[in-house]
Structure 1
Amino acid sequence: MICASQFRWASSARSDVGRVREINEDACLDQPDKGRWAVADGMGGHAVGDLASRLVVDTLSQMSPPASMKRFIADARTRLQVANRQLREEAARRQVQRIGSTVVVLLACDRFCGYLWAGDSRLYLYRQGQLRQLTRDHSQVEELRLQGRLTDEEARHHPAQHMITRAVGATDRLTLDEDAIEVADGDVFLLCSDGLSNEVTNDEILTTLANVDCHRASGELVDIALARGGRDNISAVVVQAEDPHASDKTLLNPAP
């Protein structure tokens, strides 16, 4: 039996090379009809980071329809481990140290969304006028921030902000974090690469998700990052939940 979501999902995705890089090493998965979304940010420069992110997204796009949230997450884990092995083998074949990619995945099943990630691509939730970051970056700077050795503002502009501690393809065994959340009518999720989160403030993300239709919000967020200089590849996937059976329907996304 397939686990269908009780929500009606709408989403949009946009990925841009930015104003500095020559190749877009980001990739997005946007499948609202199947309840799955992802952002992957490849690394490796000349060692084809674009291959890495595309492999991750293509692997996730082949997931089977879920029987439960537990199985949905397990399937994503299994497929990402396969992608990890393939990237390790490709790096060995090319005789380079690594070909890797961050990943953040959002999965919808029944009344819940599950999510898993490795690296510094992020998942945010906008709910009832509040923005919350659901993922925690796997990075050296985030570790320093958690230890109280950097303020939020110092972390945002730290020269080592690109030094991540986990990624698909980085080590022989991929370590992923995961969690799940019960979905509410009107929830809006944002999946993004660090090319967006390093340029766009939380207040700007909140304002955009609160006031812009989800079909246009991904493009608006990318435009803000481009206006700031677009120093990296920029990707955003915006996902909105609507419960057609909600008894107390109100305006979706009331402005804060």
Structure 2
Amino acid sequence: MPYVAVSALSHPGLLRDRNEDSLVVGPWTLCATVTESPQTLVFPLGTPLVIAVADGLGGHPGGEVASALVVRRIASTGSALSSEDAVRDALNACNRAVYQAAGGDEGSALATMGTTIAGAVVQPGSLMVFNVGDSRVFAAYRDGLRQVSVDDSPPLEPGQRTTSVVTQCLGGSLAYRAISPHVTATAVSPGDRYLICTDGLTDPVLTDVIDDVMREHDDGRAAFELWKAAIEAGGPDNITLAVVRVSDE
């Protein structure tokens, strides 16, 4: 029977006091947790399966609240995300929910809480990639790693490799701001692999290194080695990632 295997972990890194990242894999969520060993989950390829990471905005109170709220909402609706419009509607609903939970009160501890989100919905024959913010989705093709999400970030200055600024996210401001989610559908075949991650991996670790790890290791070991690479690069941020593989046997 065709299936989808997902190897995932979430870790605060070495410098942050807490983990503001969250993760959803089908009905399963990880919120504000510490995992150093990848957990591998296997699902039959059939009804839509959503895998996503959410990165609570650093420097804003309540980042972990926003990211957890979003992945739990996505987990509850994931099996209904069968079209691009359904994914956009779900992300817009998540955005409204973050603002509603924040309360719009400047004096509230959660007033400007926000989060990014990036992920994929896998179903027979197709995969939908989506994101709002700068968390990323990569396709691990035989000829190399290719980013298939769209960064919501300002243009980089010459010599600048990363930026912590996002041009849109879920929540993140006192006044409500609408979003324009990036959603793209593509064909999926047995053997295809994807990496979904927060910038706690991609900021400190070069894409070439990520590519090498994905080429050299199977799913669970790849997830571990990617986490290890981010830690060895200083672990400056929360690290959350999922390696996704579609198989026909």
TM (normalized to structure 2)?
0.82
In structure 1, the partner of 2:82 is 68
In structure 1, the partner of 2:245 is 240
Secondary structure class of the residue paired with 1:165: coil
Secondary structure class of the residue paired with 2:52: strand
The offset of 1:52, in angstroms, is 1.0
Q: Is the Cα–Cα contact under 8 Å of residues 53 and 118 in structure 2 kept in the other structure?
A: yes
Does residue 128 (structure 1) correspond to residue 155 (structure 2)? The answer is no
In structure 1, the partner of 2:169 is 167
Higher helix fraction (1 or 2):
1
Give the distance between the partners of 2:235 and 2:206, measured in 1 at CA: 14
The offset of 1:235, in angstroms, is 1.0
Q: Is the Cα–Cα contact under 8 Å of residues 13 and 231 in structure 2 kept in the other structure?
A: yes
Does residue 55 (structure 1) correspond to residue 69 (structure 2)? The answer is yes
Query: Could you report, residue by residue, the CA deviation over 1:150-192 in whole angstroms, capped at 9, with x for unpaired residues?
Result: 45xx2315xxx11111110134323211111111221111111
Q: Is the Cα–Cα contact under 8 Å of residues 84 and 185 in structure 2 kept in the other structure?
A: no
In structure 2, the partner of 1:25 is 20
Which of the pair has more CA radius of gyration? 1
Give the distance between the partners of 2:66 and 2:166, measured in 1 at CA: 16
The offset of 1:67, in angstroms, is 7.5
Q: Which amino acid aligns with 2:5?
A: A
Q: Which amino acid aligns with 1:166?
A: Q
Q: Is the Cα–Cα contact under 8 Å of residues 88 and 172 in structure 1 kept in the other structure?
A: no
Identity of aligned residues (%): 30
Q: Is the Cα–Cα contact under 8 Å of residues 25 and 53 in structure 1 kept in the other structure?
A: yes
Q: Which amino acid aligns with 2:103?
A: E
- Alignment RMSD, CA only? 2.3
The offset of 1:59, in angstroms, is 0.9
Q: How many residue pairs align between the two structures?
A: 227
Q: Which amino acid aligns with 1:169?
A: G
Does residue 197 (structure 1) correspond to residue 192 (structure 2)? The answer is no
Equivalent positions of 1:148-227 (< 5 A) are 150-151=157-158, 154-157=159-162, 161-170=163-172, 171-227=176-232
Structure 2: tracts of 5 or more residues without a match: 27-41
TM (normalized to structure 1)?
0.80
Query: Could you report, residue by residue, the CA deviation over 1:76-99 in whole angstroms, capped at 9, with x for unpaired residues?
Result: 335423433334426657166510
The offset of 1:74, in angstroms, is 4.5
In structure 2, the partner of 1:11 is 6
Give the distance between the partners of 1:114 and 1:99, measured in 2 at CA: 27
Secondary structure class of the residue paired with 2:79: coil
Query: Could you report, residue by residue, the CA deviation over 1:48-69 in whole angstroms, capped at 9, with x for unpaired residues?
Result: 2111111111111101523833
